[in-house]
Amino acid sequence: MKLRTVLLDLGGVFYEGARLLPGAQDALARLRASGLALRFVTNTTRQSRAALLRELERLGLAVATDELLTPASAARALLLERGLRPLLLIHPGLAPDFGGLDLHEPNAVVVGDAGEHFSYAGLNRAFRLLQAGAPLLALGRNRYFKDADGLSLDAGPFVAALEYAAGVSAELLGKPAPALFTQALRTLGCGPDQAVMIGDDVEADVNGALAAGLGGILVRTGKYRPGDEMRLAATGRLADDIGAAVDTLLDQGKEKPG
Amino acid sequence: MKLRTVLLDLGGVFYEGARLLPGAQDALARLRASGLALRFVTNTTRQSRAALLRELERLGLAVATDELLTPASAARALLLERGLRPLLLIHPGLAPDFGGLDLHEPNAVVVGDAGEHFSYAGLNRAFRLLQAGAPLLALGRNRYFKDADGLSLDAGPFVAALEYAAGVSAELLGKPAPALFTQALRTLGCGPDQAVMIGDDVEADVNGALAAGLGGILVRTGKYRPGDEMRLAATGRLADDIGAAVDTLLDQGKEKPG
């Protein structure tokens, strides 16, 4: 099957912190020139798509709004598709991504990385909606993240709390769940067997994509640590960095025209 | 083996709300007259032992301080025994039960039914202690309770959140865990095979006691609902109310002297 779409993680693949990784811009330019469809798929849960796009622009990475997919954009699409009105337990930085949605008399719960903005009252309100049958959408279920002063609780523990309280299972929208990969391909009318995901997180990016039926390439940058390849599913591939990953894809394209 | 000790649940066995159940005072008087040691074992997590004792006194039930065991008293005993300094995520009503303990530089976490007093900052502090190896003591792990305006989150979801975040398992101090039964008997030098528990909660009171090696009698008052006997472990017994349960014990005492 001919490759049509490349899904790309951002942090740890194109840049680390505020610094571009070597060869990142060149790799992106070569992907653009190849004519392959590109989608950028990231698990960010404290920054709106607009804020992230501005950051990418400052780094010299030209990405269009429609090319960027996040758990919030997947949640928004799902809410609209099902006609649901969400109660949002999210970080205020993410609020713009849910702008314009009907928030009155909510009949769904969206939980993100709300941090200090989690409260008993908010969690209790969510619990009562879940008891009444509202679906629970989780933007992520990471256990913790590295904060300025140490490790801090991420969205996962609060998702677990609500699941335990209401006896329900959350629908995960972030990687490695299939929702984000699937949504990215659906807008392009592209089958999973015509797509590949490139990322630095062996579980969230690569094994997640492989489980959803896409190809997957793990890059040895960002959060990659030696030994991660031991956890890589058998059909996954490895590349030193985004430049090498693009080499692999474009060489393959030449050798095996569809 | 001769019966030496009777453990008794309070709410739903002796009273409901602010009202004594029929025969409750008489049953207590007959137990007192029998010479059996008595311990009152309740899962209350928002009321100090002192407050509960005052309530019992108002109801006309004479219970001595040493006879009353709660998850908080079990936690306190365990903290002192292991020389631990707790971070307390509990309801303020319960604070007196932890009075006098060293709370500086905590190296243990106690989670109760803190309700509105749960905060992200407090949970995060607890998480960091757990990451550093502090044990997690749970006063309860109920999912929810009946609040004035609907069901509300109990301690369980927050225990689940911390367990998920830190990858640990909490030590449960409330019924049906063995800690409370065991502590009650240890102070009396009484073996579990010389003791029986009477309660209205088939899981927390009766099956919990049976699992800890005690006898158990389920009364058909309080939270008992028809069909609960289907979940009663095979060695458990049934009685219509506390009066009938005491009849069973005292008759048995006569028939089978030790």
Q: Is A98 on the interface with B (CB under 8 A)?
A: no
* Beta-carbon separation of A153 and B121 below 8 A: no
Q: Is A115 on the interface with B (CB under 8 A)?
A: yes
Which residues on chain A are in Cβ contact (under 8 Å) with B153?
Answer: 120, 123-124, 127, 161, 165
The predicted model gives A160-167 an average pLDDT of 98
φ, ψ at B233 (rounded to 5°): -60, 155
* Beta-carbon separation of A157 and B161 below 8 A: yes
- Distance, CA of B176 to CA of B64 (rounded, Å): 23
Q: Which residue of B has its CA nearest to A146?
A: B128
Q: Give A210→chain B minimum CA distance, Å.
A: 26
Cβ–Cβ under 8 Å, residues A108 and A122: no
* pLDDT value of residue A45: 82
Of B143, B153, B163, the CB nearest to A123: B153
Closest CA to B171 of B140, B138, B215: B138
Q: Give B19→chain A minimum CA distance, Å.
A: 30
**Local structure of residue B118 (DSSP, 8 states):** -
Of A115, A120, A167, the CB nearest to B115: A120
* pLDDT value of residue B253: 54
Which residues on chain B are in Cβ contact (under 8 Å) with A156?
Answer: 164-165
A32-72 pLDDT tens trace: 999 999 999 999 888 999 999 999 999 999 999 999 999 99
pLDDT band at A256 (very low <50, low <70, confident <90, very high): very low
Q: Is A148 on the interface with B (CB under 8 A)?
A: no
- Distance, CA of A27 to CA of A33 (rounded, Å): 10
Q: Is B35 on the interface with A (CB under 8 A)?
A: no
Cβ–Cβ under 8 Å, residues A101 and A75: no
Cβ–Cβ under 8 Å, residues A198 and A224: no
User: What residue ranges of chain B have pLDDT lower than 50?
Assistant: 256-258
Q: Is B118 on the interface with A (CB under 8 A)?
A: yes
A258 pLDDT more than 60: no
Q: Tokens 């207590």 label which residue?
A: B28
* pLDDT value of residue A148: 81
* pLDDT value of residue A254: 56
A178-192 pLDDT tens trace: 999 999 999 899 999
Which residues on chain A are in Cβ contact (under 8 Å) with B167?
Answer: 143
* pLDDT value of residue B252: 67
* Beta-carbon separation of A161 and B165 below 8 A: no
Of A118, A150, A167, the CB nearest to B120: A118
* Beta-carbon separation of B161 and A158 below 8 A: yes
Q: Which residue of A has its CA nearest to B117?
A: A120
B61-75 pLDDT tens trace: 999 999 999 999 999
A·B CB contacts under 8 A: 82
The predicted model gives A118-125 an average pLDDT of 98
Q: Is B186 on the interface with A (CB under 8 A)?
A: no
Q: In sequence order, which ranges of B71-154 are alpha helices (DSSP H)?
A: 71-82, 120-131
Of A119, A150, A156, the CB nearest to B165: A156
Which residues on chain A are in Cβ contact (under 8 Å) with B150?
Answer: 128
Of A152, A163, A166, the CB nearest to B124: A152
* Beta-carbon separation of B143 and A157 below 8 A: no
- Distance, CA of B86 to CA of A153 (rounded, Å): 20
Kindly report the average pLDDT of chain A as a whole number: 94
* pLDDT value of residue B258: 39
SS (H, E, C) A76-127: HHHHHHHCCCEEEECCHHHHHHHCCCCCCCCCEEEECCCHHHCEHHHHHHHH
Neighbour tally for B258: CB within 10 Å: 8
ipTM of the complex: 0.89
- Distance, CA of A83 to CA of A97 (rounded, Å): 17
Q: Coil, helix or strand for A257?
A: coil
- Distance, CA of B142 to CA of B152 (rounded, Å): 11
* pLDDT value of residue B148: 81
Which residues on chain A are in Cβ contact (under 8 Å) with B164?
Answer: 143, 156-157, 160-161
Q: Which residue of A has its CA nearest to B130?
A: A151
Q: Which residue of B has its CA nearest to A120?
A: B116
The predicted model gives A60-85 an average pLDDT of 95
